[in-house]
Amino acid sequence: MPKMLKSLAALLFVPMLLTPLAIQAQDAAPTEQTAKDAERAARDAAKAEEKARKQQEKEAAKLEKEREKEARAAEKAAAKQASADADAAEEASEDAKEAAKESGTADAVTIVESIPTLPTPDKADPDNILFLDLSTGGRVSIQLYPEIAPNHVERVKTLARQGFYDGIIFHRVIDGFMAQTGDPTGTGTGGSDLPDVAAEFNKFPHLRGSLSMARAQDPNSANSQFFIVFYPRFSLDNSYTNFGRVFSGMQFVDSIPRGEPPTAPARILQASLKTQNKPEPNYAAVAQPAEQAISVDDLNAPITN
């Protein structure tokens, strides 16, 4: 009997020993699963980080290629502009020589040599480059010549900085001759509030693209109006102050509607100096406001053909 009791007690004690082991096994299972999940999450994070790094490297390489492409395009454009500037300078020199030959003087060489040596557009002071953004669809680039007409150049630069020329029409445009602007009234009789400028007549000939100051009968009556010559007009030499020349965008001057005044006049949307770094306007989006009718009798037309 005692042996039986001992056996029974032993059987009852075994479950008591197994229960903690089962509980311990159950506690260990979640811990092992958590470790696996953490390891998997770490691998996924590492993969995501590697993918993001590769994407960044890909985008950086793409951006670098775009920058190199833009740099090559800018270099190409600069080379093209330099070539155009050189051609313009050569054309100016040839035109000046031709003007001297056609002037009828006995010593044409002396006249050519007496014309001041002017820098080419690419070597000019950026503050002496005038931009006229025209309603005809583009930017006209003009080199100003303070070497031959310092006061006239300074006047136009001052008015351009003030925004005086913005919106002014070309009120007198004669085919084969010139396009005149600079009058805020649009009649040819107006000007700025600044005093008139004394004449600075010089030996530089009026060639195609020349920028010259308009005036009344008094040689010292120039103020704000100027004109751009379509074709050489040597009869204006030493009678009107020549102070600059178009070197780019002359096609937009050629497109200015003719008339005195034109039925639908072109206008200067914006006048600025290169140093002002003003962007070109959206030419297509610029609406032409209705103009008040102007009669020929309202015009002041001091320039003769």
Per-residue model confidence (pLDDT) at position 23:
55
pLDDT at residue number 4: 56
- Going along the chain from its start, the domains and CATH numbers come out as 124-290 (2.40.100.10)
DSSP 162-192: HTTTTT-BEEEEETTTEEEE--TTSSSS---
What pLDDT, on a 0 to 100 scale, did the predictor assign at position 100? 55
How is residue 236 annotated by DSSP?
G
Which of 276, 226, 273, 268 has the alpha carbon at shortest distance from 130?
Answer: 273
Is the bond leading into 261 cis (omega within 30 degrees of zero)? yes
Q: Are 282 and 293 in contact (CB under 8 A)?
A: no
Helix count and strand count (H, E) for the chain: 4, 8
Tokens describing residue 74: 């800018």
Q: What angle do CA 171, 173, 174 make, to 5 degrees?
A: 150
Report the length, in residues, of the chain.
305
What single DSSP character describes residue 204? -
CA-to-CA separations, 2 to 8, 9, 10, 199, in angstroms, rounded: 10, 11, 12, 144
**DSSP E strands, 187-274:** 210-213, 226-229, 242-248, 268-273
Give φ, ψ of 73 to 5 degrees.
-65, -40
Over its length of 305 residues, how does the chain's per-residue pLDDT go in tens digits? Answer: 555 555 555 555 555 555 555 555 555 556 777 877 778 888 888 888 888 888 888 887 887 777 777 767 666 665 566 556 556 555 665 665 565 555 554 444 444 455 667 888 989 999 999 999 999 999 999 999 999 999 999 999 999 999 999 999 999 999 999 999 999 999 999 999 999 999 999 989 999 999 999 999 999 999 999 999 999 999 999 999 999 999 999 999 999 999 999 999 999 999 999 999 999 999 988 755 545 555 555 555 555 55
Residue 197: phi and psi, rounded to 5, are: -105, 135
The pLDDT, as a whole number, for residue 243 is 97
pLDDT of residue 305: 53
Maximum Cα interatomic distance, the chain, rounded to a whole number of Å:
159
Task: Retrieve residue 263's tokens.
Answer: 């039925």
Q: For residues 180 and 265, give the distance between their C-alpha atoms in angstroms, rounded to a whole number.
A: 11
- The upper half-sphere exposure of residue 129, i.e. CA atoms within 13 Å in the direction of its Cβ, equals 19
Residue 57, pLDDT score: 84
* Distance in angstroms (rounded) separating the CA atoms of residues 19 and 24: 9
Is residue 226 within 8 A of residue 182, CB to CB? The reply is yes
Q: Please, which residues bridge with residue 131 across strands?
A: 141, 272
Q: CA-to-CA distance for 102 and 80, rounded, in angstroms?
A: 32
